[in-house]
Structures are given as C-alpha cells and as structure tokens.
C-alpha cells in the first residue's frame, strides 16, 4: 500500500478546540499550552482567531496570547481571520500567517451573507493584498465540502468553483474542513484524488471533526490519496455551533499514535502531546473522545503485561 513516509500535523486545538469550550481559558493557561505544543515538535500551530470578542468570546485574548507565546524557529503560528479588522490585529501581533474561511454551502452563504461562496472568496481581495504587503501569507479554508446540514451533498463542481476563486486571489494552500462530521473514507479518497488531479499546484490540508467517529479513517483515506497535511486538536477538544452533538477535531494523540505505529514520520513527540492533553483535560474538567488518553499507547500495554508476567514468576 502506498502511504506517505512523512506527514505534517497542524495543531488547531488552541483555536478550533478552545473556541467551542464552555470554559474560557485565561491568557497564561493558553500560553502554557501553546508553548508546550511548540516544544513537542509541531511545525504548524493555529494559535487563535481574531474575531469580534462578542462573536467568539473564548478567542477575545488572542492578541495578547499571540504576542506572548514563545515563537520557535521553523514553526508556523497561524491565526484565523474573517475580515480586514482581524487582519489588522494579526499585523499588530506580528503574525506571519493567516487563514480565511468560507462555507461550501451555497444555501448557508446566501441566507447569511447574501452571496455565493465564490463571491465571498472574491471579497477577500483587499485582505489578501494588505496581508501580502505586510509579509503575511494567506491560506484558505473551505468548510463542509464533504456535506453540509443545509444541502447534505455538495456537488464537487461547486467546491471546485471555490478553489478557483481562492486561486484567483493567489491563495494556493487550501484546507478542506469537515466541520459537520459528515465525510466518509471512500468519499474522502475519491474527492482528494479528483482535487489533486485538477489542482496539482494546491497544497491541501484536511481537517476532520470526529462527530461520527470517522475522523481517523478519513485521515487514512486522505493519506492513501497522497495528502500529507492534517489538522488535529489536542485531546480532541472542540465542537461546532451549527451541528448538534458535534465533536471536536480528531484528537492529536490518536492520530499521532496511529502514525507512529505505522512508522510514518511526524517529528512530534507523542509523550509530550499526551502530557499537554492531560493537562488541558484537568483545566477543562471534563473528559473527551481521545482514545489514547483513556487507553494509553499500545507500547505501554505491552510493557504492563510483561511486568505482570514477571511478577508471576
């Protein structure tokens, strides 16, 4: 089976995870978590978002957090923005990477913004121009390309229109975000093969929420299609305000554990990630869907059984 030898995991827990938690972490708690994630070996970390504090109160302190975290060389610290105000805050914080988002759902866009998803992307033109003039690179995200609560199925031709709109703005790094947790593995595989064929210049990132337990299987399907960049969230924290019962992103330690066991390189220290995720769970005071936090690593289990055997002898 052809699988990549190396994979890049982008830790999105500090943004996508924490923005959906009831408890809002304070600045020091966030800084400690992000610093320990940096030290675990991640090369991409989504630190937070620059949204209106009333819209996303959990992210109100992103400016201070962004300024105060330790920035390691070779690590990309990115932030999600929605408009020019968000970009101005990113500039003030010295951010080098921002991410824009559009929903693949035409119905959702028309009701909320009175424009199609492609028109939304075209409206990002000013943001992209100002970002580039400040040496900030821009990536784009498309949420719900694999299915939305409004249309259920989104025609792939509609998603391609959005990709073209991003390319028109010079954005070539695109994340496909299964926010609604509706993607299934054969769909992901076919979708990614099709996208890679039509848009060979795009750097694709896959972003799965584990709402229906498909996150890790979808990542595997993505790898089979040759995708090597994936978003994950420490402890699997998070959710989605539009989707009842939505889970967070597939948990970082679960994905990392699978990749380690499959000898796929990430450069990330799993033990350090597990410690950070345990620390986070202690702060949030609730458990999550993370399998590794519940069951531990397979290798630990082997050690435990052999020590039982030794004690019997």
Residues acting as catalytic residues: 240
- Which is nearer to Zn ion, 16 or 289 (by Cβ)? 16
C-alpha R_g of the chain: 19
Per-residue binding letters, 13-52, with Zn ion (x by CB under 5 A): ---x------------------------------------
The whole-angstrom separation of Cα 142 and Cα 144 is 7
3-state SS, residue 253: helix
Span near Zn ion by CB under 5 A; candidates 10-18, 27-35, 151-159, 161-169 = 10-18
Least distance (Å) from Zn ion to the CB of residue 208?
8
Least distance (Å) from Zn ion to the CB of residue 304?
35
Q: Which residues pair with 140 in a beta bridge?
A: 100, 174
* CB distance 79 to 99 below 8 Å: yes
What Cα–Cα distance (Å) separates residue 253 from each residue in 33, 45, 67, 178, 238? 15, 15, 27, 19, 15
- Which is nearer to Zn ion, 11 or 16 (by Cβ)? 16
Helix (H) or strand (E) holding 98: strand 97-103
Least distance (Å) from Zn ion to the CB of residue 196?
22
- Which is nearer to Zn ion, 180 or 276 (by Cβ)? 180
* CB distance 266 to 232 below 8 Å: no
3-state SS, residue 300: helix
Q: Is 178 in the site for Zn ion (CB under 5 A)?
A: no
Residues 221-260 that bind Zn ion (CB under 5 A): none
- Which is nearer to Zn ion, 20 or 38 (by Cβ)? 20
Span near Zn ion by CB under 5 A; candidates 8-16, 52-60, 102-110, 189-197 = 8-16
3-state SS, residue 191: helix
* CB distance 274 to 295 below 8 Å: no
Q: Which residue has the tokens 């966030």?
A: 30
Q: How many residues bind Zn ion (CB under 5 A)?
A: 1
Q: Which residues of 188-219 are buried (b: 16+ CB within 10 A; e: fewer)?
A: bbebbeebeeebeebebbbbbbbbeebbbbbb
Least distance (Å) from Zn ion to the CB of residue 179?
5
**CB nearest Zn ion: which residue?**
16
The whole-angstrom separation of Cα 113 and Cα 278 is 40
- Which is nearer to Zn ion, 99 or 304 (by Cβ)? 99
Span near Zn ion by CB under 5 A; candidates 11-19, 33-41, 198-206, 301-309 = 11-19
The whole-angstrom separation of Cα 84 and Cα 100 is 11
- Which is nearer to Zn ion, 101 or 187 (by Cβ)? 101
Least distance (Å) from Zn ion to the CB of residue 20?
9
Least distance (Å) from Zn ion to the CB of residue 173?
16
Residues forming contacts to Zn ion in the complex (CB under 5 A) are 16
């Amino acid at each position: 089976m052809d699988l990549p030898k190396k994979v890049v995991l982008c830790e999105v827990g500090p943004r996508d995870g924490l923005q959906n938690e009831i408890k809002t972490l304070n600045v020091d708690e966030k800084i400690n978590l992000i610093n320990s994630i940096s030290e675990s070996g991640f090369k991409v970390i989504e630190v937070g978002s620059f949204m209106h504090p009333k819209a996303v109160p959990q992210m109100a302190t992103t400016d201070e957090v962004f300024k105060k975290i330790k920035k390691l060389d070779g690590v990309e610290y990115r932030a999600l923005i929605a408009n020019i105000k968000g970009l101005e805050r990113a500039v003030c914080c010295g951010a080098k990477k921002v991410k824009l988002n559009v929903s693949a759902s035409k119905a959702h866009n028309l009701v909320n913004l009175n424009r199609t998803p492609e028109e939304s992307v075209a409206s990002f033109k000013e943001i992209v121009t100002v970002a580039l003039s400040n040496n900030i690179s821009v990536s784009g995200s498309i949420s719900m390309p694999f299915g939305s609560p409004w249309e259920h199925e989104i025609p792939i031709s509609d998603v391609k229109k959005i990709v073209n709109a991003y390319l028109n703005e010079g954005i070539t790094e695109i994340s496909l975000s299964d926010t609604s947790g509706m993607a299934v593995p054969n769909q992901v595989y076919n979708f990614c093969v099709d996208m890679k064929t039509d848009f060979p210049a795009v750097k694709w990132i896959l972003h799965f929420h584990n709402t229906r337990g498909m996150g890790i299987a979808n990542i595997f399907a993505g790898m089979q299609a040759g995708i090597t960049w994936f978003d994950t969230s420490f402890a699997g924290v998070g959710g989605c305000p539009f989707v009842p019962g939505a889970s967070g992103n597939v948990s970082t330690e679960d994905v990392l554990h699978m990749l380690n066991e499959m000898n796929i390189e990430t450069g990330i220290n799993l033990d350090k990630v597990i410690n950070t995720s345990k620390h986070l769970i202690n702060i949030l005071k609730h458990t999550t869907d993370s399998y590794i936090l519940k069951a531990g690593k397979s290798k630990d289990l082997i050690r435990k059984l052999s020590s039982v055997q030794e004690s019997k002898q």
